[in-house]
Amino acid sequence: LATFMLRLFPASITLNIMTLSGLTVAIGRVVDDSIVVLENIFRHLQEGEDKTHALIEGTRDVSVAIFAATVITVVVFLPLGLTGGIIGEFFLPFGLAVTYSLMSSFIVAITVVPVVAYLLLDRNEIADDENSFLERLYEPALKWALANGRNSIIVLVTATISLVIGLGLFATRPLAFLPSFGEPQIAVSVNLPAGTKIVDTNAVVVEFENYLAATFTADQIKSVSTIIGGGGGLESLILGSSSVSENVGTITIGVEHPGELDTLAGEIRTEAERIFGQENVTVSAASLSEQGFGGFALVLSGEQADLQAVNADIVNVLNNVDGLANVSSNVAADASAETAPVTFIRVDLQSAARFTGELETNNTIGVTNLAKQAIQDYLDTNNLADRITVSEGFESRQQTEGFAGLGLAMGIAIVLVILILIVTFGSFVHWLDIILSIIVAPVGAAILLTLTNRVLGISAMIGLLMLIGIVVTNAVVLIDRVQSNRRERHMELRAALLEAGERRLRPILMTALATIGALVPLAVGLSEGAIIASELGTVVIGGLFSSTLLTLIVVPVAYRLLDPLHRRLAINRKDRETSDKVGV
């Protein structure tokens, strides 16, 4: 706990891509508290109250709700710094930027906004309260949902079905630690047989360049850079040698659209192997994210003789996995040659061979799992499973551990949210009303992610984390009004739910639209170079759209169904307290 508290106040933190991403994500959310306060002030003024009284009461009415909502959103992001590992280090600046901006937004909402409203609002300019088109649609729908138990069950079943649909769509999405971003390039490395003259090397390279020019348009390939021959590098500079390797060449191809990188790489590889010969060329494709966090590595552990015997077969097995290319091993393929260098690594004091390759797919984690399964099938078929084990290398392991760390952060966040809800509402039951609202969020996120054909990666998972906070805060604003109706206005349950729904519909819709509007530039891809970008915006917009529509119905229905259990527990608690007093 002490370590975590210290991490909240780092000794040095810069204005970098992660802190800027945090501020970008927070833009839509920082105005939510102010919107709720200002809208409630307007409500009081429209009801004919005195201006000063409207400002004070309008702010007081929602202060507890927006405080709880802000704290909930903050604790959703803070666990990012608790998880440790690459997620903790990578996303701590992001989480801190969101946290401090949201905490500031609450202070502004209950201090600056009422003061500015007092100075700028004119009671005579505020129109009478009239139900909008959405309010006229919402009220009959809520009345129908609360009419009887059958209708309430239909609502909950619909919400559950939406959850199943959302999870099913998520399962169809490619899994990648980070989506492709940065400058996408294809590198073609040519190494013709020794003794090839530079004029002959140039001739085949020109043939390859002609193929590129004739096959692809400028909208697909934006640049081609070619180097024929290779110098001696640093050694030639030191020794004064001017020798040139005439049999080598490098062609770097700039791809216009990152989404076409893997497809183009496969097509170019096929033709490059025909022109140069399969053994004389290597075609690699990668963007900035693949170079940093999208690598592939598997490790086989066992006896050196067994590893050396299966090395070539394993390379062939991996090269046949769709989405993998240029697989190699630290163990020499030609183990029969006496001069072949044979290098082994050790993992947990056991000899091991490391296999690396290039992932030419946006389903990086899915292909890694397919590769592991392909190796395991090979070992089972050849009765080697009890002598050789398969595990992930560093490049692959950091991706799976990153997902696991983020899953842990989401679990911690939900637990903290539940604790805050129990304290805020003073009930061990009604927190379930709000948690149930989370189940309707994934369907919109999954549908929009599927329609835009985007990956389920860290950016999308951060979006889901953010969505938890937003959905819960909308429900908190609604339930706070319900409890206020019952506690202060002594309203019957159904009437309290209907009044709260009508009263809180407008601020909930306004905050949802503000958040959606702020994230549209991210979702449409206007910041392609950002790590937290289009996938996050897509998930939050889709999830917020579905959850806003469904939460306004699901939460009141859940509250009504669970209220008898809440009252029973409350009566039992009072009976125990009375018994204790009598005993004393």
pLDDT for the residue numbered 527 = 56
Measure the CA–CA gap between 496 and 482, rounded to whole angstroms.
Answer: 5
CA distances in angstroms from 110 to 242, 266, 475, 507, listed in the order given: 74, 58, 20, 16
Residues 113/38, Cβ–Cβ less than 8 Å: yes
End-to-end CA distance of the chain: 39
Q: For residues 163 and 156, what is the distance between their CA atoms, to the nearest angstrom?
A: 11
In this prediction, residue 468 carries a pLDDT of: 82
Q: What is the pLDDT of residue 570?
A: 73
- The token duo for 338 is 């006496």
Q: pTM of the prediction? A: 0.77
Strand boundaries in 192-309, DSSP class E: 221-231, 244-255, 281-286, 296-301
CA nearest to 458, candidates 292, 299, 327: 292
Neighbours of 521 (CB within 10 A): 15
Torsion, CA 260, CA 261, CA 263, CA 265, rounded to 10: 150
Q: Tell me, what's the pLDDT at 405? A: 77
544-566 burial, b at 16+ Cβ within 10 Å, e below that, comes to bbbbbbbbbbbbbbbbbbbbeeb
Bridge partner residues of 553 (DSSP): none
Q: Which one-letter amino acid corresponds to residue 43?
A: R
Contacts of 155 (CB under 8 A, 6+ apart): 145, 553, 554, 557
Question: Within 10 A of 577 (CB to CB), how many other CB atoms are there?
Answer: 10
Which parts of the chain have pLDDT scores under 50?
233-241, 288-292, 334-337, 579-584
21 near 531, Cβ under 8 Å? yes
H helices of 83-195, in order, are 85-120, 133-145, 149-171
Q: Quick one: which H or E segment has residue 345?
A: strand 345-347
Tokens standing for residue 327: 């697989």
- Cα(273)–Cα(326) distance, integer angstroms: 12
Task: Give the chain's length.
Answer: 584
Q: What is the DSSP string of 493-504?
A: HHHHHHHHHHHH
In order of 86, 455, 462, 536, the CA distances from 458 in angstroms are 12, 9, 6, 9
The token duo for 221 is 């390939």
pLDDT value of position 440: 78
Q: Are 399 and 368 in contact (CB under 8 A)?
A: yes
pLDDT the model gives residue 4:
66
